[in-house]
Chains A and B, each alone.
Chain A
Amino acid sequence: MSDVLNPPEPGASSATVPLKPLGKVVAVTSGKGGVGKTFVSANLAAALAKLGQRVLVLDADLGLANLDVVLNLYPKITLHDVFTGKAKLEEAIIRAPGGFSVLLAGSGMVEYSRLTPEVRGDFLRIMNGLVPHYDIVLLDTGAGISDVVLFAVSLASEVLVVATPEPTSLTDAYATIKVLVGQQKRQIIRMVINQTARLGDGRAITVQLQQVLDRFVVSEPGRHIKLIHMGDIPADPSVRQAIMRRQLLMQSTPGSPAAMAISQLALKIQDAVIPR
Protein backbone atom coordinates (compact mmCIF):
# COMPACT_ATOMS: atom_id res chain seq x y z
CA MET A 1 0.00 0.00 0.00
CA SER A 2 1.43 3.32 -0.94
CA ASP A 3 1.61 6.08 1.57
CA VAL A 4 -0.77 8.76 0.40
CA LEU A 5 0.71 11.42 2.60
CA ASN A 6 4.19 10.95 1.30
CA PRO A 7 4.17 9.74 -2.26
CA PRO A 8 7.43 7.90 -2.87
CA GLU A 9 9.85 9.02 -5.49
CA PRO A 10 9.35 7.14 -8.72
CA GLY A 11 11.24 3.90 -8.47
CA ALA A 12 11.57 3.97 -4.71
CA SER A 13 9.89 1.20 -2.83
CA SER A 14 7.82 2.43 0.05
CA ALA A 15 7.55 -1.05 1.48
CA THR A 16 11.18 -0.99 2.54
CA VAL A 17 10.66 2.16 4.62
CA PRO A 18 9.06 1.29 7.92
CA LEU A 19 6.60 3.83 9.23
CA LYS A 20 8.04 5.35 12.34
CA PRO A 21 5.60 6.08 15.10
CA LEU A 22 6.43 9.76 15.37
CA GLY A 23 8.40 12.13 13.23
CA LYS A 24 10.40 14.95 14.68
CA VAL A 25 8.93 18.40 14.42
CA VAL A 26 11.40 21.23 14.00
CA ALA A 27 10.15 24.81 14.13
CA VAL A 28 12.17 27.23 12.06
CA THR A 29 11.68 30.69 13.47
CA SER A 30 13.52 33.99 13.65
CA GLY A 31 11.85 36.87 15.36
CA LYS A 32 12.67 39.31 12.60
CA GLY A 33 11.35 38.80 9.10
CA GLY A 34 13.54 38.77 6.04
CA VAL A 35 16.46 36.86 7.53
CA GLY A 36 15.99 33.88 5.23
CA LYS A 37 13.76 31.69 7.35
CA THR A 38 11.81 30.31 4.43
CA PHE A 39 14.95 30.03 2.33
CA VAL A 40 16.56 27.96 5.08
CA SER A 41 13.44 25.83 5.62
CA ALA A 42 13.10 24.93 1.95
CA ASN A 43 16.76 24.26 1.29
CA LEU A 44 17.26 22.43 4.56
CA ALA A 45 14.32 20.22 3.61
CA ALA A 46 15.96 19.49 0.27
CA ALA A 47 19.27 18.68 1.96
CA LEU A 48 17.56 16.40 4.49
CA ALA A 49 15.66 14.68 1.69
CA LYS A 50 18.96 14.06 -0.03
CA LEU A 51 20.14 12.36 3.14
CA GLY A 52 17.23 9.97 2.74
CA GLN A 53 14.83 11.53 5.21
CA ARG A 54 11.16 11.87 4.52
CA VAL A 55 10.59 15.56 5.02
CA LEU A 56 7.54 17.77 5.04
CA VAL A 57 7.67 21.54 5.18
CA LEU A 58 4.54 23.19 6.51
CA ASP A 59 3.71 26.84 6.07
CA ALA A 60 3.00 27.44 9.72
CA ASP A 61 2.59 31.14 9.15
CA LEU A 62 -0.91 30.37 7.91
CA GLY A 63 -0.69 32.07 4.58
CA LEU A 64 1.84 34.76 5.27
CA ALA A 65 4.93 32.65 4.66
CA ASN A 66 6.47 32.93 1.27
CA LEU A 67 7.06 29.23 0.82
CA ASP A 68 4.98 29.27 -2.36
CA VAL A 69 7.11 32.10 -3.72
CA VAL A 70 10.41 30.47 -2.79
CA LEU A 71 9.39 27.12 -4.26
CA ASN A 72 7.48 28.58 -7.19
CA LEU A 73 4.53 26.34 -6.40
CA TYR A 74 0.94 27.40 -6.63
CA PRO A 75 -1.19 24.36 -5.90
CA LYS A 76 -4.93 24.40 -6.43
CA ILE A 77 -5.57 22.72 -3.11
CA THR A 78 -4.07 24.14 0.05
CA LEU A 79 -4.37 23.93 3.81
CA HIS A 80 -7.16 26.45 3.51
CA ASP A 81 -9.30 23.91 1.67
CA VAL A 82 -8.53 21.35 4.36
CA PHE A 83 -9.55 23.80 7.08
CA THR A 84 -12.78 24.64 5.30
CA GLY A 85 -13.51 20.97 4.66
CA LYS A 86 -13.33 21.26 0.89
CA ALA A 87 -10.43 18.86 0.54
CA LYS A 88 -8.73 16.06 2.39
CA LEU A 89 -5.36 16.59 4.03
CA GLU A 90 -3.54 14.27 1.63
CA GLU A 91 -4.87 16.20 -1.34
CA ALA A 92 -3.16 19.37 -0.15
CA ILE A 93 0.29 17.83 0.20
CA ILE A 94 2.46 18.33 -2.82
CA ARG A 95 5.89 17.25 -3.88
CA ALA A 96 8.46 20.03 -4.01
CA PRO A 97 11.27 20.01 -6.57
CA GLY A 98 13.82 19.16 -3.88
CA GLY A 99 12.33 15.75 -3.16
CA PHE A 100 10.35 16.70 -0.08
CA SER A 101 6.68 17.29 0.62
CA VAL A 102 5.09 20.67 1.18
CA LEU A 103 1.85 21.74 2.73
CA LEU A 104 1.08 25.30 1.72
CA ALA A 105 -1.43 27.40 3.57
CA GLY A 106 -2.97 29.27 0.66
CA SER A 107 -3.84 32.91 0.70
CA GLY A 108 -7.30 32.26 2.12
CA MET A 109 -5.64 31.26 5.36
CA VAL A 110 -4.96 34.84 6.29
CA GLU A 111 -8.39 34.96 7.87
CA TYR A 112 -7.27 32.03 10.01
CA SER A 113 -4.23 33.91 11.11
CA ARG A 114 -6.24 34.85 14.15
CA LEU A 115 -5.57 32.04 16.47
CA THR A 116 -8.99 31.10 17.75
CA PRO A 117 -9.47 27.90 19.75
CA GLU A 118 -11.02 26.35 16.61
CA VAL A 119 -7.99 27.17 14.49
CA ARG A 120 -5.78 25.77 17.22
CA GLY A 121 -7.80 22.56 17.25
CA ASP A 122 -7.78 22.22 13.47
CA PHE A 123 -4.06 22.84 13.36
CA LEU A 124 -3.41 20.24 16.04
CA ARG A 125 -5.52 17.66 14.24
CA ILE A 126 -3.66 18.30 11.02
CA MET A 127 -0.29 18.01 12.74
CA ASN A 128 -1.31 14.77 14.39
CA GLY A 129 -2.35 13.42 11.04
CA LEU A 130 0.89 14.44 9.37
CA VAL A 131 3.65 13.73 11.79
CA PRO A 132 3.56 9.90 11.75
CA HIS A 133 4.18 9.88 8.01
CA TYR A 134 7.47 11.75 8.03
CA ASP A 135 10.88 11.57 9.61
CA ILE A 136 11.10 15.33 9.96
CA VAL A 137 8.43 17.98 9.75
CA LEU A 138 9.77 21.51 9.38
CA LEU A 139 7.44 24.28 10.49
CA ASP A 140 8.18 27.46 8.63
CA THR A 141 6.80 29.94 11.15
CA GLY A 142 5.95 33.56 10.65
CA ALA A 143 8.03 36.54 11.49
CA GLY A 144 7.58 38.21 14.81
CA ILE A 145 6.45 36.63 18.02
CA SER A 146 2.73 36.41 17.34
CA ASP A 147 0.32 34.01 18.97
CA VAL A 148 0.37 31.94 15.79
CA VAL A 149 4.15 31.70 15.80
CA LEU A 150 4.34 30.79 19.47
CA PHE A 151 1.63 28.20 19.02
CA ALA A 152 3.38 26.65 16.03
CA VAL A 153 6.67 26.58 17.91
CA SER A 154 4.97 24.96 20.89
CA LEU A 155 4.14 21.98 18.69
CA ALA A 156 7.77 21.41 17.82
CA SER A 157 10.21 19.26 19.70
CA GLU A 158 13.12 21.28 18.36
CA VAL A 159 13.51 24.97 17.61
CA LEU A 160 15.89 26.30 15.01
CA VAL A 161 16.33 30.07 15.21
CA VAL A 162 17.58 31.73 12.05
CA ALA A 163 19.34 35.06 12.52
CA THR A 164 21.66 37.25 10.56
CA PRO A 165 24.57 39.21 12.07
CA GLU A 166 22.55 42.42 11.82
CA PRO A 167 21.77 44.07 15.16
CA THR A 168 18.02 44.17 14.48
CA SER A 169 17.96 40.48 13.69
CA LEU A 170 20.01 39.65 16.77
CA THR A 171 17.73 41.70 19.01
CA ASP A 172 14.64 40.00 17.65
CA ALA A 173 16.22 36.56 17.85
CA TYR A 174 17.18 37.31 21.44
CA ALA A 175 13.65 38.52 22.28
CA THR A 176 12.20 35.39 20.69
CA ILE A 177 14.50 33.13 22.65
CA LYS A 178 13.61 35.00 25.82
CA VAL A 179 9.92 34.34 25.22
CA LEU A 180 10.50 30.70 24.34
CA VAL A 181 12.48 30.21 27.52
CA GLY A 182 9.98 32.07 29.68
CA GLN A 183 6.77 30.84 28.16
CA GLN A 184 7.54 27.42 26.80
CA LYS A 185 10.31 26.53 29.23
CA ARG A 186 12.57 25.65 26.32
CA GLN A 187 15.97 24.48 27.47
CA ILE A 188 17.64 23.89 24.14
CA ILE A 189 17.47 26.19 21.16
CA ARG A 190 19.42 25.60 17.99
CA MET A 191 20.92 28.52 16.10
CA VAL A 192 21.84 29.01 12.51
CA ILE A 193 23.38 32.30 11.45
CA ASN A 194 22.63 33.27 7.89
CA GLN A 195 24.60 35.65 5.67
CA THR A 196 27.78 35.62 7.68
CA ALA A 197 30.68 37.59 6.29
CA ARG A 198 33.54 35.68 7.84
CA LEU A 199 34.16 32.17 9.01
CA GLY A 200 33.34 31.87 12.67
CA ASP A 201 31.08 34.92 12.86
CA GLY A 202 28.08 32.70 13.46
CA ARG A 203 29.57 30.82 16.35
CA ALA A 204 30.75 34.07 17.92
CA ILE A 205 27.22 35.44 17.64
CA THR A 206 25.74 32.34 19.26
CA VAL A 207 28.29 32.58 22.07
CA GLN A 208 27.41 36.23 22.52
CA LEU A 209 23.67 35.50 22.64
CA GLN A 210 24.32 32.76 25.17
CA GLN A 211 26.28 35.13 27.39
CA VAL A 212 23.55 37.76 27.39
CA LEU A 213 20.92 35.08 28.05
CA ASP A 214 22.98 33.70 30.92
CA ARG A 215 23.18 37.12 32.46
CA PHE A 216 19.61 38.38 31.95
CA VAL A 217 17.40 35.35 31.56
CA VAL A 218 18.97 32.40 33.29
CA SER A 219 19.55 34.49 36.40
CA GLU A 220 15.99 33.67 37.40
CA PRO A 221 15.67 30.42 39.30
CA GLY A 222 14.53 27.36 37.43
CA ARG A 223 15.54 28.68 34.07
CA HIS A 224 18.19 27.16 31.96
CA ILE A 225 18.87 27.71 28.32
CA LYS A 226 21.50 26.23 26.09
CA LEU A 227 22.01 27.60 22.61
CA ILE A 228 23.51 25.11 20.22
CA HIS A 229 25.28 26.54 17.23
CA MET A 230 24.24 24.46 14.24
CA GLY A 231 26.18 26.35 11.65
CA ASP A 232 26.71 29.42 9.54
CA ILE A 233 25.41 30.03 6.07
CA PRO A 234 27.93 32.34 4.42
CA ALA A 235 26.81 35.35 2.43
CA ASP A 236 26.89 34.01 -1.10
CA PRO A 237 25.78 35.64 -4.36
CA SER A 238 24.41 32.32 -5.58
CA VAL A 239 21.72 32.54 -2.88
CA ARG A 240 20.32 35.70 -4.37
CA GLN A 241 20.52 34.19 -7.82
CA ALA A 242 18.61 31.10 -6.75
CA ILE A 243 15.98 33.21 -5.01
CA MET A 244 15.54 35.49 -8.01
CA ARG A 245 15.20 32.47 -10.29
CA ARG A 246 12.87 30.93 -7.73
CA GLN A 247 14.86 27.78 -7.52
CA LEU A 248 16.21 25.85 -4.60
CA LEU A 249 19.84 26.69 -3.98
CA MET A 250 20.43 22.99 -3.33
CA GLN A 251 19.43 22.32 -6.93
CA SER A 252 20.66 25.36 -8.82
CA THR A 253 24.15 25.56 -7.32
CA PRO A 254 24.71 22.63 -4.96
CA GLY A 255 28.45 23.32 -4.92
CA SER A 256 28.16 26.92 -3.74
CA PRO A 257 29.47 27.75 -0.26
CA ALA A 258 25.95 28.47 1.06
CA ALA A 259 24.60 25.19 -0.31
CA MET A 260 27.48 23.26 1.23
CA ALA A 261 26.82 24.95 4.54
CA ILE A 262 23.17 23.94 4.33
CA SER A 263 24.19 20.34 3.59
CA GLN A 264 26.31 20.40 6.70
CA LEU A 265 23.46 21.94 8.66
CA ALA A 266 21.21 19.11 7.45
CA LEU A 267 23.68 16.52 8.70
CA LYS A 268 23.83 18.19 12.08
CA ILE A 269 20.06 18.45 12.31
CA GLN A 270 19.73 14.82 11.32
CA ASP A 271 22.22 13.76 13.96
CA ALA A 272 20.54 15.91 16.56
CA VAL A 273 16.91 15.03 16.07
CA ILE A 274 16.90 11.50 14.68
CA PRO A 275 18.15 8.88 17.08
CA ARG A 276 20.39 6.34 15.48
Chain B
Amino acid sequence: MVSKAPNPIIELQNLRLDDARALLDHDMVQALPSAEESGHDYLQGIINGLCELSLKDPLTGLSNRRHLCAVQERTIDGVARSGSPALLLMLDIDHFKKVNDTYGHQAGDQVLRTVAKCLASCVRPMDTLARYGGEEFAVVLPNCPTSFGITVAERIRQTVESLAIQVSPGVTIRVTVSVGGAYAPEWVRSTATLWTERADVQLYKAKSEGRNRVSLDQQQEIFVSAEEKNLLFGHLALGDPAWVESVPSEMSGASVHSAMQRVN
Protein backbone atom coordinates (compact mmCIF):
# COMPACT_ATOMS: atom_id res chain seq x y z
CA MET B 1 0.00 0.00 0.00
CA VAL B 2 1.24 3.41 -0.88
CA SER B 3 1.04 5.79 2.01
CA LYS B 4 0.52 9.47 1.37
CA ALA B 5 3.49 11.68 2.02
CA PRO B 6 2.83 14.00 4.94
CA ASN B 7 2.14 17.61 4.04
CA PRO B 8 5.49 19.29 3.86
CA ILE B 9 5.85 22.11 6.30
CA ILE B 10 6.92 25.21 4.47
CA GLU B 11 9.59 27.21 6.11
CA LEU B 12 8.88 30.84 5.33
CA GLN B 13 12.50 31.81 5.60
CA ASN B 14 13.37 29.30 2.86
CA LEU B 15 11.02 31.00 0.42
CA ARG B 16 12.19 33.96 -1.57
CA LEU B 17 9.32 36.31 -0.87
CA ASP B 18 11.20 39.58 -1.03
CA ASP B 19 10.28 40.46 -4.61
CA ALA B 20 6.63 39.68 -4.02
CA ARG B 21 6.73 41.62 -0.75
CA ALA B 22 8.26 44.64 -2.49
CA LEU B 23 5.63 44.55 -5.24
CA LEU B 24 2.83 44.43 -2.72
CA ASP B 25 4.31 47.09 -0.46
CA HIS B 26 4.45 49.33 -3.46
CA ASP B 27 0.95 48.72 -4.76
CA MET B 28 -1.27 47.26 -2.11
CA VAL B 29 -3.65 49.33 -0.14
CA GLN B 30 -4.16 46.69 2.49
CA ALA B 31 -1.37 45.91 4.89
CA LEU B 32 -0.06 42.35 4.94
CA PRO B 33 -0.50 40.33 8.10
CA SER B 34 2.76 40.15 9.98
CA ALA B 35 4.99 37.15 9.34
CA GLU B 36 5.70 36.71 13.03
CA GLU B 37 2.10 36.26 14.11
CA SER B 38 1.02 33.62 11.61
CA GLY B 39 3.19 32.31 8.82
CA HIS B 40 0.13 30.87 7.15
CA ASP B 41 -1.80 34.15 7.13
CA TYR B 42 1.25 36.00 5.91
CA LEU B 43 1.76 33.65 2.97
CA GLN B 44 -1.95 33.69 2.16
CA GLY B 45 -1.84 37.48 2.28
CA ILE B 46 1.02 37.55 -0.21
CA ILE B 47 -0.77 35.10 -2.52
CA ASN B 48 -4.01 37.10 -2.34
CA GLY B 49 -2.13 40.29 -2.98
CA LEU B 50 -0.34 38.87 -6.01
CA CYS B 51 -3.61 37.52 -7.42
CA GLU B 52 -5.17 40.91 -7.02
CA LEU B 53 -2.22 42.64 -8.65
CA SER B 54 -2.29 40.25 -11.57
CA LEU B 55 -5.87 41.24 -12.32
CA LYS B 56 -5.55 45.00 -11.99
CA ASP B 57 -4.48 47.81 -14.22
CA PRO B 58 -1.90 49.70 -12.16
CA LEU B 59 -2.74 53.18 -13.43
CA THR B 60 -6.50 53.21 -13.01
CA GLY B 61 -7.07 50.41 -10.52
CA LEU B 62 -9.63 48.91 -12.87
CA SER B 63 -9.49 45.30 -14.03
CA ASN B 64 -6.92 44.49 -16.67
CA ARG B 65 -7.31 42.50 -19.87
CA ARG B 66 -6.67 39.20 -18.14
CA HIS B 67 -9.47 39.75 -15.67
CA LEU B 68 -11.79 41.14 -18.33
CA CYS B 69 -11.37 38.06 -20.46
CA ALA B 70 -12.11 35.74 -17.54
CA VAL B 71 -15.21 37.76 -16.64
CA GLN B 72 -16.40 37.69 -20.25
CA GLU B 73 -16.05 33.92 -20.49
CA ARG B 74 -17.86 33.49 -17.21
CA THR B 75 -20.60 35.87 -18.27
CA ILE B 76 -21.11 34.08 -21.60
CA ASP B 77 -21.50 30.85 -19.67
CA GLY B 78 -24.01 32.51 -17.38
CA VAL B 79 -26.00 33.93 -20.28
CA ALA B 80 -26.23 30.52 -21.91
CA ARG B 81 -27.48 29.07 -18.65
CA SER B 82 -29.82 31.77 -17.42
CA GLY B 83 -30.83 33.37 -20.69
CA SER B 84 -30.64 36.82 -19.13
CA PRO B 85 -28.75 39.12 -21.47
CA ALA B 86 -25.35 40.65 -20.73
CA LEU B 87 -23.91 43.74 -22.32
CA LEU B 88 -20.32 44.54 -23.22
CA LEU B 89 -19.44 48.19 -23.72
CA MET B 90 -16.20 49.28 -25.33
CA LEU B 91 -15.26 52.91 -24.75
CA ASP B 92 -12.58 55.03 -26.26
CA ILE B 93 -11.65 58.55 -25.18
CA ASP B 94 -11.98 60.78 -28.22
CA HIS B 95 -8.83 62.50 -29.49
CA PHE B 96 -6.84 61.30 -26.52
CA LYS B 97 -3.57 61.75 -28.36
CA LYS B 98 -4.26 65.49 -28.42
CA VAL B 99 -4.44 65.52 -24.62
CA ASN B 100 -1.06 63.82 -24.38
CA ASP B 101 0.47 66.01 -27.07
CA THR B 102 -0.90 69.25 -25.66
CA TYR B 103 -0.72 68.78 -21.92
CA GLY B 104 1.80 65.98 -21.48
CA HIS B 105 1.55 62.36 -20.45
CA GLN B 106 0.93 63.13 -16.80
CA ALA B 107 -2.16 65.03 -17.80
CA GLY B 108 -3.12 62.07 -19.96
CA ASP B 109 -2.75 59.76 -16.99
CA GLN B 110 -4.88 62.09 -14.91
CA VAL B 111 -7.59 61.99 -17.58
CA LEU B 112 -7.48 58.18 -17.63
CA ARG B 113 -7.76 58.00 -13.85
CA THR B 114 -10.62 60.48 -13.71
CA VAL B 115 -12.57 58.78 -16.49
CA ALA B 116 -12.03 55.43 -14.76
CA LYS B 117 -13.43 56.80 -11.53
CA CYS B 118 -16.33 58.34 -13.39
CA LEU B 119 -17.14 55.02 -15.04
CA ALA B 120 -17.30 53.36 -11.65
CA SER B 121 -19.93 55.87 -10.60
CA CYS B 122 -22.08 55.08 -13.63
CA VAL B 123 -22.44 51.33 -13.25
CA ARG B 124 -23.56 48.80 -10.66
CA PRO B 125 -21.15 47.11 -8.25
CA MET B 126 -21.77 43.81 -10.03
CA ASP B 127 -20.48 45.20 -13.32
CA THR B 128 -16.85 44.79 -14.30
CA LEU B 129 -14.84 47.78 -15.42
CA ALA B 130 -11.60 47.21 -17.22
CA ARG B 131 -8.92 49.18 -18.93
CA TYR B 132 -8.70 47.47 -22.27
CA GLY B 133 -5.53 49.24 -23.28
CA GLY B 134 -4.35 52.78 -23.98
CA GLU B 135 -7.37 55.01 -23.74
CA GLU B 136 -9.82 52.17 -24.26
CA PHE B 137 -12.07 50.85 -21.53
CA ALA B 138 -14.47 47.94 -21.38
CA VAL B 139 -17.50 47.33 -19.18
CA VAL B 140 -19.20 43.98 -18.73
CA LEU B 141 -22.76 44.29 -17.48
CA PRO B 142 -24.29 40.93 -16.63
CA ASN B 143 -28.02 40.63 -16.30
CA CYS B 144 -28.63 43.76 -18.33
CA PRO B 145 -32.04 43.84 -20.04
CA THR B 146 -31.73 44.97 -23.63
CA SER B 147 -33.84 48.06 -23.01
CA PHE B 148 -31.42 49.30 -20.33
CA GLY B 149 -28.30 49.06 -22.47
CA ILE B 150 -28.74 52.34 -24.25
CA THR B 151 -29.61 54.08 -20.97
CA VAL B 152 -26.44 53.05 -19.22
CA ALA B 153 -24.26 53.71 -22.27
CA GLU B 154 -25.75 57.18 -22.66
CA ARG B 155 -25.33 57.85 -18.95
CA ILE B 156 -21.64 57.03 -19.25
CA ARG B 157 -21.22 59.22 -22.32
CA GLN B 158 -23.00 62.19 -20.75
CA THR B 159 -21.26 61.87 -17.39
CA VAL B 160 -17.83 61.82 -19.01
CA GLU B 161 -18.78 64.77 -21.19
CA SER B 162 -19.77 66.80 -18.13
CA LEU B 163 -16.50 66.09 -16.28
CA ALA B 164 -14.12 68.96 -15.66
CA ILE B 165 -10.74 67.31 -15.31
CA GLN B 166 -8.03 69.30 -13.62
CA VAL B 167 -4.75 68.23 -15.20
CA SER B 168 -2.54 70.83 -13.53
CA PRO B 169 -3.17 73.84 -11.29
CA GLY B 170 -5.43 76.17 -13.17
CA VAL B 171 -5.78 73.89 -16.19
CA THR B 172 -9.08 72.09 -16.58
CA ILE B 173 -9.96 70.09 -19.67
CA ARG B 174 -12.92 68.18 -20.97
CA VAL B 175 -13.02 64.96 -22.89
CA THR B 176 -15.68 62.90 -24.57
CA VAL B 177 -16.01 59.17 -25.16
CA SER B 178 -17.33 57.07 -27.98
CA VAL B 179 -19.15 53.97 -26.82
CA GLY B 180 -19.82 50.76 -28.72
CA GLY B 181 -21.79 47.90 -27.26
CA ALA B 182 -22.94 44.39 -27.98
CA TYR B 183 -25.02 41.87 -26.10
CA ALA B 184 -23.71 38.43 -25.33
CA PRO B 185 -25.77 36.13 -27.46
CA GLU B 186 -28.56 34.44 -25.58
CA TRP B 187 -27.42 31.44 -27.50
CA VAL B 188 -25.17 28.62 -26.58
CA ARG B 189 -21.52 28.85 -27.44
CA SER B 190 -19.88 32.10 -28.25
CA THR B 191 -16.51 33.47 -27.26
CA ALA B 192 -15.07 36.50 -25.54
CA THR B 193 -13.25 37.30 -28.76
CA LEU B 194 -16.39 37.29 -30.88
CA TRP B 195 -18.25 39.33 -28.32
CA THR B 196 -15.47 41.89 -28.17
CA GLU B 197 -15.32 41.93 -31.96
CA ARG B 198 -18.99 42.85 -32.19
CA ALA B 199 -18.71 45.59 -29.57
CA ASP B 200 -15.61 46.87 -31.38
CA VAL B 201 -17.50 47.12 -34.65
CA GLN B 202 -20.02 49.34 -32.87
CA LEU B 203 -17.27 51.44 -31.28
CA TYR B 204 -15.79 51.98 -34.70
CA LYS B 205 -19.23 52.97 -35.94
CA ALA B 206 -19.64 55.50 -33.10
CA LYS B 207 -16.20 56.91 -33.95
CA SER B 208 -16.82 57.16 -37.66
CA GLU B 209 -20.22 58.76 -37.14
CA GLY B 210 -18.58 61.71 -35.40
CA ARG B 211 -17.47 60.56 -31.90
CA ASN B 212 -19.03 61.41 -28.53
CA ARG B 213 -21.85 59.02 -29.25
CA VAL B 214 -23.19 55.58 -28.48
CA SER B 215 -23.75 52.74 -30.88
CA LEU B 216 -25.19 49.43 -29.76
CA ASP B 217 -25.46 46.22 -31.70
CA GLN B 218 -29.16 45.37 -31.75
CA GLN B 219 -28.81 42.36 -33.96
CA GLN B 220 -28.68 39.77 -31.24
CA GLU B 221 -32.03 40.64 -29.81
CA ILE B 222 -33.92 37.50 -30.55
CA PHE B 223 -37.06 37.94 -28.69
CA VAL B 224 -40.35 36.25 -29.22
CA SER B 225 -43.05 38.26 -27.51
CA ALA B 226 -46.05 36.83 -25.71
CA GLU B 227 -48.23 38.18 -28.48
CA GLU B 228 -46.23 36.32 -31.10
CA LYS B 229 -46.33 33.15 -29.03
CA ASN B 230 -50.08 33.41 -28.61
CA LEU B 231 -50.53 33.73 -32.33
CA LEU B 232 -48.13 30.88 -32.98
CA PHE B 233 -49.82 28.19 -30.99
CA GLY B 234 -52.54 29.69 -28.85
CA HIS B 235 -55.32 27.86 -30.64
CA LEU B 236 -53.24 24.69 -30.86
CA ALA B 237 -53.35 24.35 -27.09
CA LEU B 238 -57.09 24.96 -27.12
CA GLY B 239 -57.65 22.20 -29.62
CA ASP B 240 -59.35 24.53 -32.07
CA PRO B 241 -60.68 22.43 -34.96
CA ALA B 242 -59.60 25.19 -37.35
CA TRP B 243 -56.15 23.73 -36.97
CA VAL B 244 -56.98 20.73 -39.12
CA GLU B 245 -59.22 22.44 -41.63
CA SER B 246 -56.63 22.94 -44.32
CA VAL B 247 -55.72 19.36 -45.12
CA PRO B 248 -53.92 19.64 -48.42
CA SER B 249 -54.95 17.20 -51.08
CA GLU B 250 -51.43 16.14 -52.04
CA MET B 251 -50.86 14.85 -48.53
CA SER B 252 -53.40 12.09 -49.02
CA GLY B 253 -52.29 8.50 -48.65
CA ALA B 254 -52.61 7.85 -52.37
CA SER B 255 -50.01 10.43 -53.29
CA VAL B 256 -47.60 9.17 -50.63
CA HIS B 257 -48.03 5.78 -52.16
CA SER B 258 -47.41 6.94 -55.69
CA ALA B 259 -44.38 8.85 -54.47
CA MET B 260 -43.03 5.65 -53.04
CA GLN B 261 -43.47 3.92 -56.35
CA ARG B 262 -41.45 6.62 -58.00
CA VAL B 263 -38.75 6.15 -55.40
CA ASN B 264 -38.58 2.43 -55.87
Candidates B189, B194, B251, B262; contact of A199 at CB < 8 Å? B251
B residues sitting closer than 8 Å to A (CB atoms) are 185, 187-191, 193-194, 219, 222, 224-225, 228-229, 231-233, 236-237, 243-248, 251-252, 255-257, 259-260, 262-263
Instruction: Verify B187–A144 contact, CB threshold 8 A.
Output: yes
- Say yes or no for A243: interface residue by CB 8 A criterion: no
Q: How far is the CB of B191 from chain A (nearest CB, A)?
A: 4
Q: Which of A170-210 contact B (CB under 8 A)?
A: 170-171, 174-175, 178-179, 182-183, 198-201, 203-204, 207-209
- Residues from chain B with Cβ under 8 Å of A200 in the complex: 244, 246-248, 251
- Residue A167 CB within 8 A of the other chain: yes
Given A165-B236, A167-B236, A174-B224, decide whether A215 and B185 contact each other with a Cβ distance below 8 A. Answer: no
In whole angstroms, what is the CA distance A182 to B185 when docked? Answer: 15
Q: In the bound complex, do residue A267 and residue B246 qualify as a contact, i.e. CB atoms below 8 Å apart? A: no
Chain B residue contacts of A114, Cβ below 8 A: 189-191, 194
A198 contacts B237, CB within 8 Å? no
> Does A113 touch B at the CB level, under 8 Å?
yes
- Chain A interface, number of residues (Cβ within 8 angstroms): 48
**Are B185 and A146 in contact, with the CB atoms below 8 A?**
yes
> Among the listed stretches A1-9, A82-90, A96-104, A256-264, which one makes contact with chain B, having 4 or more residues with CB under 8 Å of it?
A256-264
1/0 contact string of A262-276 vs chain B (CB within 8 Å): 011011000000000
6 chain-A/chain-B pairs, Cβ below 8 angstroms: A142-B188, A146-B188, A203-B246, A204-B244, A260-B259, A267-B263
How many Å lie between the Cα of A116 and that of B225 in the bound state? 32
Contact between A199 and B188, CB atoms less than 8 A apart: no
Determine chain A's interface SS by DSSP, over half rule: helix
Residue A212 lies at the interface, judged by CB distance under 8 Å to chain B = yes
Contact of B244 among A179, A201, A209, A216 (CB under 8 A): A201
Q: Which 8 A-B pairs have the closest CB atoms?
A: A200-B247, A146-B189, A264-B259, A114-B191, A167-B233, A263-B263, A144-B188, A146-B187
In the complex, whether A47 has a CB less than 8 A from a CB of chain B is: yes
In the complex, are the beta carbons of A51 and B263 less than 8 A apart? yes
Q: A175–B229 Cα gap in the complex (Å)?
A: 10
Residues in B with CB closer than 8 Å to A165 are 236
Q: Which residues on the A side are within 8 Å of B225 (C-beta)?
A: 216
Q: How far is the CA of A113 from the CA of B219 in the complex (A)?
A: 21
Check A260–B256 contact: CB distance below 8 A: yes
Contact between A167 and B189 (Cβ–Cβ < 8 Å)? no
What residue in chain B is nearest A62 (Cβ atoms)? B189
User: A232 within 8 Å of B by Cβ?
Assistant: yes
